[in-house]
Amino acid sequence: MNKVQTGIETLISKQKFQDICTGNLALLYHSASVTSSFQSTLEVVNELFPNRLKKLFGPQHGVVSDVQDNMVESSHSNHPHFNLPVYSLYSETRKPTSEMLAGIDTLLIDLQDVGTRVYTYISTLQLLLESIAEHKLNIKVIILDRPNPIGGTITEGNILQAGFTSFVGMLPIPMRHGMTFGEVGLFIKNHLNLDVNLSIIPLKNWTREMSFIHTALPWVNPSPNLATSNSALTFPATVLFEGTNISEGRGTTRSLEVIGHPDIKDPFKLKAEFLEFIKEFNLEGFILRPLYFVPTFQKHCQSQCGGFHIHVTDPSKFQAWLLGQLLCYFLYHHSEIDFQWNNNPYEYEFNSIAIDLINGSDQIRNWIEKKEELSHIFKIEKLNQALFHKQRSAVLQYT
C-alpha cells in the first residue's frame, strides 16, 4: 500500500494546485499542520510563495497547540520568526471580522481534525466560511485535506438537534461523521447554501476504511490532550465525560484514553460488572484495562482515581460512541460512585448543561437519568440519520 499523501504534500508536488493560489495569501493552521517529514505547512507555504503570505490564523489551542481546555483563549500576536500577524479565532471572537480578512485573495486551511462533531475546528471552519459569505468577500478558500483519523466509513451517534447548537456542535451531524476536513467544508457550504469559492487540495492514497495508524503519517498532537492516534479513536467515548465529574484523563500522559474517579476503589471488580451489564451488545474491538491514576491537574487533581484505560484492538469494529454512552449510563447508576453532571459554563454557553451540548440533545441525559431500556439509545441515534447520510453522500471525495 502506498503511503498517504496529505493536501500540503499534494500542493508541493502539483504545479496545477500552486497555480490556483493567487494573490495575497493567508493560512489557518496549527502545530499538527506538518508534512510527513515534519516540516510545518507554514514553512512550506512561505517557501512556495515568497513574500505573498500576509496573515496567519489559529484555532482553539493556538497555532502551536499549547493552550489547555475550553474557554482558555489565545491572544492575537505576531509570529516571532516570520514576522506575520497571527489572528486568534479563539479569542474575543470566534468568527473572523472583515478587518481580519481584508487584503486576502487566497486563504489556505490546514488543520488536523479528529473526525467528531464536538471538536471545535469544524466550527471554526464554519464561522470562517460564514464570515466570508456574509461580507461578500472575493476570497478563494482552499482546504489542504487531511485524513479523518478515526476512518471514513463508520458513522456513529445521534444527530445534533435544533436548540442544542454551540461551539462544540454547530451542524446536524452525528458524533462520528466519517468525513475528512475538506468534505466537512463542502458539507457546510451545501447545508448553509453559502456563496463562497471553496476548493479542496486532495489526499492521495487515502481510502475510507483507513484509521490514522494505516496512513504511515506522523501523529502530532492536534490539541494538547490528544497525545496519540489511539486517543482520537477513543475520543468519541471519553469526551462525553467532560460533561461529568468523571475524569477523562486530563492531567495524565494518556488523556482521553483513560477515565476514572476517586470513588472507584476496585476497577477490576468494576470491569467485570460493566462487561456483564453490556453483554447483550456484543461490543468488539477494544479492551478495558483496569488501572489507577493520579491527575496532576484538572478534575481530582492529586487524588488517586480508579478506572479504565481503553485500548483499541480493532478500529473497524470499535463502537466508541456507544461504549462511552453505556459507560456513562452504568457509572451514573453505580451506588458507590458520586456521579455528577458538570454544571460549569461550557464553550461559551452559560444556560445549558455541558452533557447536553456534547450530546447535541437532552434525550440521552434523560435516557440515563430515567434509567430507560438500554436499547432505547438506538432509537435516539436513528433520528434524522437518513437526511444526514443523503447530505453526506453528496460531498464524499474518496472511495
Q: How many CB atoms lie within 10 A of CB 383?
A: 14
Residue 63 has a pLDDT of 82
Residue 71 has pLDDT above 90, yes or no: no
Write the CA distances from 381 to 41, 156, 191, 192, integer angstroms.
38, 8, 20, 23
Range list for CATH 3.40.50.12170 in the chain: 7-223+388-393
Short-list 346, 42, 398, 65, CA closest to 224: 65
Grid cell for residue 179? 468525513
pLDDT at 21: 98
The answer, yes or no, to whether residue 348 has pLDDT greater than 90, is no
**Rounded average pLDDT over 221-246:** 96
Domain with CATH 3.90.1150.140 in the chain: 229-380
pLDDT category of residue 333 using cuts at 50, 70 and 90: very high
Q: Is the pLDDT of residue 69 over 80?
A: no
Give residue 1's pLDDT band: very low, low, confident or very high (50, 70, 90): low
Encode burial over 186-196: b for 16+ CB neighbours within 10 A, e otherwise: bbbbebeebeb
Spatial CB neighbours of 267, under 8 Å, sequence gap ≥ 6:
260, 290, 291, 292, 306, 307, 308
How much is the pTM?
0.96
- Name the grid cell of 278: 453490556
Confidence of residue 268 (pLDDT cuts 50, 70, 90): very high
Where do we find the cell 484538572?
298
- As a whole-number percent, the residues of the chain with pLDDT over 90 amount to 93
Label the pairing between strands 258-261 and 305-312: antiparallel
User: From residue 266, how far is each of 284, 312, 333 by CA, in Å?
Assistant: 23, 22, 17
CATH architecture under which domain 7-223+388-393 falls = 3-Layer(aba) Sandwich (3.40)
Strand partners, 206: none
Residues 39, 166: Cα–Cα separation, whole Å? 34
Backbone angles phi, psi at 293, to 5 degrees: -150, 155
Rounded to an integer, what distance in angstroms lies between the CA atom of residue 73 and that of residue 60? 7
pLDDT at 43: 98
pLDDT in tens, 279-328: 999 999 999 999 999 999 999 999 999 999 999 999 999 999 999 999 99
Largest CA distance in the chain: 64
Q: Is the pLDDT of residue 66 over 70?
A: no
pLDDT reading at 223 higher than 90: yes
Q: In the structure, what pLDDT confidence band is assigned to residue 167 with cuts at 50, 70 and 90? A: very high
More confident residue, 69 or 367: 367
Where does the chain show beta strands of DSSP type E?
25-29, 53-58, 77-78, 85-88, 106-110, 140-144, 197-201, 258-261, 286-293, 305-312
Mean pLDDT confidence for 145-169:
97
Under CATH, what is the fold of the domain 229-380?
Answer: Aspartate Aminotransferase, domain 1 (3.90.1150)
